[in-house]
Amino acid sequence: MDHLTDEQLYGLVGAEEPTGTSATAALRRRHWSRVNAFAHTVVDDPAAARYLTDLAFDQLVRGQPSTVSPVRPPRLLLLLTVSRTAARLPHGPRDHGVRGRGAARVGPPRAAEPVPTGGPVSDQLLARGFAALPPRTQALLWHSVVEREPDDSVASLTGDRPEAVAGLVSRALESCHDATLHLHLESRPTPGCSGFGRMLDAATTREDVRRHPQLTQHLGECPDCAAVLRGLVALREAPRPVLAGAVLGGAPGAAYTTGAVPDPDDDTLTLPRIVQSSPRGPAVRARDSALRQPAAAYAVGILTVLLTAAALMAVAWSAEDPPAAGVRAAPETHPGPVGSPSRKGPPAGTSPPAHTSASPVGPPSPTGSPSASATAGTSPSSSAEPTPGTTPAEVVPFRASSFVSAVNSGTGMCLDVRGGTFANGVDVITTKCRDGATTQQWRLDDDGLLRNGAQSDYCLDSRGHNGQSVGIWSCSAHKGEHGENLEFSLDTTGRIKPGTAPGLAVTPEGAAGAGVKLLPTDGSADQRWTESAG
């Protein structure tokens, strides 16, 4: 039954044996680890946490109306049961209500960064807006945005195609925004609130609308409209902690997005931590020493010597004799500065980029190619020579002088934004390359900002290069403190290096939907990126 979606499995839970038992077992395999990990964050006893998890699964199977709603995804039903049960426990070690274990409710760990929120009013509205969405839409948001599951994992839970998840999640966030605003306007806190619906909608993304005199006056008179606007802005800027806090409640939501204590007796999943945008110190996560085998180092050294010798021989040969008839001469190239985020302009004869949308940091400008000659350092091919009239396919290292896709040489996948969601702290991942996908297109500006083609006011963020996955952040932060985290450069092989640590390179973590990290440069294909016009 593992091939069935969550909704299909949930529908079979009450079926006759052995179907019902098999469906229950499949749901337990899928969701036990995360639910049990969450239980460890809200009670201080491992046995009590396990009991809360068992209780949640028992209530899911029994379908008790008082605790289980049929309009939620299964995992969210389980998490809500754990959260509500734990909320009835007092703080301190006095309680014996959870199976006589003496468990106590614990506060969430402190987040390293403040979590944006609109306050209790907006949290309640966001929770209602989220609950108004269809269960499948809730599942897309919860598993992709809050839990950061890879696209293929989300697709297996919801029944969607992995390549469609990013677009569906982006639309789901918009649906949550619209539902929340609609519910707020329906409640009519003041008679004039409904007339400000469009302005409130636009104000979530436009600073100039927020400063409009009429809206400013209304927000001063209506605290509910002010609260919902703060909540909707927070939803766009940091959807993960905002959704978790609104749906699970402030303390449990913060615990769910901050971390969990592992249970040594179970195969418990450790929950991910809150995305941090401020610098996290100079520490750099190095690769495991097992990957640094001496044989690999010797091989790289020998290869370097051979390539250098081949290049010198080619130069000497070309100086003495012209190429033989029937052999196509290498095209002339125009090398530019290497590894520097500051570049002056395009080489003569190049056209400006097609995308020139403005951004808060100033107008983006076309940039020159950072790559040196494509023929330097290449080894002779063992394949047959091209015949006259044919042109071998040329692989162009990632230059990003205009908006182009960044294709990884090792995996063949493209650099993308998780869920197609543009908000501070969203992860950058690798996914299957898609023709015309603007979220997979990037451009390097003169100031070293690597802008995204779908929303050019969001840039690649190194997050302090401390080993955490790379993300995106508003490009306007480049003018502020720690703005150097947004600066990158490209070398001649197409490696993407952070300006704060040029010895590191953007490296994919695994299969489609997995994140990318900054790891020490090692010459591998996984750290080289090539251009595709997308």
Q: Is 431 exposed, middle or buried, given 0-12, 13-18 or 19+ CB atoms closer than 10 A?
A: buried
- Strand-pairing partners, residue 518, are 506
Alpha carbons 423 and 235: distance in angstroms, whole number:
8
Amino acid type, 372: A
Given CA atoms 109, 140, 179, 64 in this order, what sign does their dihedral have?
A: negative
Q: What is the pLDDT of residues 374-420, one digit of tens each?
A: 333 333 333 333 344 433 446 789 999 999 999 999 999 999 998 88
Integer distance in angstroms from the first to the last C-alpha of the chain? 38
Structure-token pair, residue 516: 């990318």
Average pLDDT of the chain, as a whole number:
71
The answer to whether 123 and 248 have CB atoms below 8 angstroms apart is: no
Q: Taking residues 49-69, what's their average pLDDT?
A: 73
Count of other CB atoms within 10 angstroms of residue 310: 14
Of all residues in the chain, the percent with pLDDT exceeding 90 is 19
Give 150-216 as a 3 state SS string. Answer: CHHHHHHHHCCCHHHHHHHHHHHHHHHHHHHHHHHHHHCCCCCHHHHHHHHHHHCCCHHHHCCHHHH
- For residue 335, is pLDDT > 90? no
DSSP code string of 339-375: S-S----PPTTPPPPS-----TT------------TT
What pLDDT shows up at residue 417? Answer: 92
Alpha carbons 379 and 376: distance in angstroms, whole number:
9
Q: What is the pLDDT of residues 245-294, one digit of tens each?
A: 888 886 676 667 654 333 323 333 333 222 233 333 322 233 233 323 33
Given CA atoms 377, 379, 380, 381 in this order, what sign does their dihedral have?
A: negative
Domain ranges of the chain: 1-109, 112-258, 275-288+339-346+364-374+396-534
CATH 1.10.10.10 matches 275-288+339-346+364-374+396-534: no
Amino acid type, 319: A
Distances (CA, A) of 289 to 26, 294, 328, 379, 521: 38, 10, 44, 29, 14
Q: Which of 110-124, 190-204, 336-350, 428-442 has the lowest mean pLDDT?
A: 336-350
Q: Is the pTM of this model over 0.85?
A: no
- For residue 303, is pLDDT > 70? no
Q: Which of 60-74, 181-195, 350-364, 487-501 has the lowest mean pLDDT?
A: 350-364
Alpha carbons 413 and 376: distance in angstroms, whole number:
26
* Residue 341 confidence class, pLDDT cut points 50, 70, 90: very low
The answer to whether 80 and 143 have CB atoms below 8 angstroms apart is: no
Alpha carbons 228 and 204: distance in angstroms, whole number:
10
Q: What is the pLDDT of residues 463-473, one digit of tens each?
A: 876 566 799 99
Q: What is the pLDDT of residues 454-511, one digit of tens each?
A: 999 999 999 876 566 799 999 988 888 888 999 999 988 899 999 888 889 999 988 8
What pLDDT shows up at residue 206? Answer: 82
What pLDDT shows up at residue 70? Answer: 55
Name which residue leads in pLDDT, 284 or 152: 152
